[in-house]
Amino acid sequence: MFCFQCQEAARNEGCTIAGVCGKKDIVADLQDLLVYTIKGLCYVCEKSNYLDDEVMEYIPKALFVTITNVNFDDKDVMDYIKKGVELREKIIEKTNLNKEELPHCATWNYENDDDIIELSLAKEVSVLAEDNEDIRSLKELITYGIKGIGAYLSHAMHLGYNNEEIHKFIVKAMTKLVDSKDADELFNLAMETGKYAVDTLALLDKANTETYGHPEITEVNLGVRDRPGILISGHDLKDLEQLLEQTKGTGVDVYTHCEMLPAHYYPFFKKYDHFVGNYGGSWPFQTEEFEKFNGPIIMTTNCLVPPKDSYKDRVYVTGAVGYPGLKRIPVREDGTKDFSEVIEHAKKCKPPTPLENGKIVGGFAHNQVLALADKIIEAVKSGKIRKFVVMAGCDGRHKTREYYTEFAKKLPKDTVILTCGCAKYRFIKLDLGDIDGIPRVLDAGQCNDSYSLAVVALKLKEVLGLEDINELPIAYNIAWYEQKAVAVLLALLYLGVKNIVLGPTLPAFLSPNVAKVLVEKFGISTISTVDEDIKRLVG
């Protein structure tokens, strides 16, 4: 195996024996083959100008399966590979494509599982198939951006929202990854990936807000009640809605974990009395927190950490998530999920052990921030707010991430943090005060809500009459971990944002030359010390 797609790649070079994330070599190899298969499927779609609902349903989900901390189950990955081959063969047959003119990723086949495993080990399906390290770097940058787009698109589609143009882009881009070896062409494709990342995030924002209302200022309870509970994690709001409906009147409470916290900000979810609050923090701390929760846990998306035996029987998965031995939530014929087993399980469990008390204040997605625009603009004009600092993105295991807590604490009092994603857990529980009633930490929601930060920036630019997004009093100190963050980064670059600080390390998949281009064109850099970074970002 060779995998370097996330921020925790071994030695910041790549995992080769097993993943730091817990992914076994067989799963990593099969995921490479899945990406290879998706490329082959896209290739035949592109060459025959073909797209149908089944393909549009499959590609984003299959991409989602390969994101860090989503699926650790070789059987699941194998099933997705088989489905990809099946869809591809159907299209070749329907469109009479000449197989002899197709590359291996679009023609390979198998007789049994051993054939699949054998191919998954071949160099030609791995990241290292590309010998030129700069071309490889650009191709993987695009691939990870597209994985992020696939994840966000899956969420939008789960809510019934879709945009064929995004699928067409994925198909075109994956085909170029097979065909192209031209660095300029690939660089432009990376920028185009950013454009489609913006479009996908906008679609998801529309899906979320039209379905559940606009997030609004909300206090989220961090304590627990004396009843059994179900903990739901990941990003999927539709799964949460169905769980809340099915737990109504059962005596079982529902709590959010990690990226599900922002669900509390939506008006729609406030009507559920048994939707109690948020339990714990970000994903790296789940092994201790899940242990103490005492009841069942549902993982709707990333980030799943290989579960300990002590609570493994209480973890349920759904959607793209998978882990050997964990129970899967059944899907009914009408497509809704059946949580009855989880609910019965919860009834037999003790209430959660309290971890903390107090509250988190959030809900500052674009609509809420724009409702406060006059106040915010006044504070900017009068100098009470000197600068906004975007501290969005992901959390992770490494100790180096304590930097972000220190950074937030040491930021001057006339700065406001704009956040979203699970990076916020490094500082959201600190009491950083407010500026004339405007909290110093404004949480827009999940990483899925990154679009909000772009809307706020563009609105501020308009109101302040500025020409360029970089003239705004906004600095970017972004923490990344997995591939959705890569999509968001490409989105920001596409929007023209310069001088982003990306940490705690630059991606291992950026070759020195590609990194150099990003530094020259966009002023990207990585973190240094808290004091130095405050000086260069805030002045």
Residues that bind ligand SF4 (CB under 6 A): 3-6, 8-9, 15, 19-21, 23, 28, 68
When asked if residue 148 is in the footprint of ligand SF3 (CB under 6 A), the reply is no
Which position's Cβ is nearest ligand SF4? 19
Q: Which pair of structure tokens corresponds to residue 534?
A: 């405050």
Instruction: Find the shortest distance in angstroms from Cβ 69 to ligand SF4.
Output: 7
Instruction: Find the shortest distance in angstroms from Cβ 93 to ligand SF4.
Output: 35
Instruction: Find the shortest distance in angstroms from Cβ 394 to ligand SF4.
Output: 12
Toward ligand SF4, which CB reaches closer, 8 or 253?
8
23 binds, options ligand SF4, ligand SF3, none, Cβ within 5 to 8 A by partner type: ligand SF4
- Nearest CA to 219 out of 354, 358, 352 is that of 358
| Site track 266-285 with ligand SF3 (rule: CB under 6 A), x = hit | -----------------x--
Stretch in the footprint of ligand SF3 (CB under 6 A) among 136-144, 323-331, 361-369, 477-485: 477-485
Toward ligand SF4, which CB reaches closer, 6 or 360?
6
SS3 (DSSP) at 507 = coil
When asked if residue 261 is in the footprint of ligand SF3 (CB under 6 A), the reply is no
Instruction: Find the shortest distance in angstroms from Cβ 282 to ligand SF3.
Output: 7
Instruction: Find the shortest distance in angstroms from Cβ 10 to ligand SF4.
Output: 6
Residue 515, number of CB atoms within 10 A of its CB: 17
Angle at 63 between CA 61 and CA 64, to 5 degrees: 60
Q: How far apart are the C-alpha atoms of 183 and 206, rounded to whole Å?
A: 35
Instruction: Find the shortest distance in angstroms from Cβ 401 to ligand SF4.
Output: 15
Q: Which pair of structure tokens corresponds to residue 489?
A: 């980064």
- Are 189 and 173 in contact by the 8 Å Cβ rule? The answer is yes
The only residue of 441, 453, 475, 485 in contact with ligand SF3, by rule CB under 6 A: 485
- Nearest CA to 267 out of 186, 321, 212 is that of 212
Stretch in the footprint of ligand SF3 (CB under 6 A) among 272-280, 427-435, 482-490, 525-533: 482-490
Assign residue 506 a region: left if phi > 0, alpha if psi is -120 to 50, beta otherwise? beta
Q: How far apart are the C-alpha atoms of 392 and 104, rounded to whole Å?
A: 40
Residue owning tokens 């799964």: 239
- Are 281 and 222 in contact by the 8 Å Cβ rule? The answer is no
Is the peptide bond prior to 45 cis by the omega test (within 30 degrees of 0)?
no
Angle at 366 between CA 148 and CA 494, to 5 degrees: 45
Question: What is the footprint of ligand SF3 within residues 283-312 (CB under 6 A)?
Answer: 283, 302-303
Question: What is the footprint of ligand SF3 within residues 441-470 (CB under 6 A)?
Answer: 446-447
Instruction: Find the shortest distance in angstroms from Cβ 534 to ligand SF3.
Output: 24
Toward ligand SF4, which CB reaches closer, 21 or 170?
21
Residue 93 burial (CB < 10 Å; 0-12/13-18/19+)?
A: exposed
> Distance between alpha carbon 6 and the CA centroid of its chain, in Å?
12
- Are 489 and 480 in contact by the 8 Å Cβ rule? The answer is yes
15 binds, options ligand SF4, ligand SF3, none, Cβ within 5 to 8 A by partner type: ligand SF4
Total residues contacting ligand SF3 (rule CB under 6 A)? 15
- Nearest CA to 172 out of 155, 149, 154, 152 is that of 149
Q: How far apart are the C-alpha atoms of 322 and 319, rounded to whole Å?
A: 8
107 binds, options ligand SF4, ligand SF3, none, Cβ within 5 to 8 A by partner type: none
E strands present in 143-217: none
Question: What is the footprint of ligand SF3 within residues 407-426 (CB under 6 A)?
Answer: 421-422
SS3 (DSSP) at 254 = strand
299 binds, options ligand SF4, ligand SF3, none, Cβ within 5 to 8 A by partner type: none
485 binds, options ligand SF3, ligand SF4, none, Cβ within 5 to 8 A by partner type: ligand SF3
The only residue of 127, 190, 258, 453 in contact with ligand SF3, by rule CB under 6 A: 258
Q: Which pair of structure tokens corresponds to residue 403?
A: 């930097």
Instruction: Find the shortest distance in angstroms from Cβ 402 to ligand SF3.
Output: 17
154 binds, options ligand SF4, ligand SF3, none, Cβ within 5 to 8 A by partner type: none
Q: What is the CA radius of gyration of the chain?
A: 23
Q: How far apart are the C-alpha atoms of 240 and 254, rounded to whole Å?
A: 9
When asked if residue 144 is in the footprint of ligand SF3 (CB under 6 A), the reply is no
Residues at the site binding ligand SF3, with contacts judged by CB under 6 A: 69, 258-259, 283, 302-303, 394, 421-422, 446-447, 481-482, 484-485
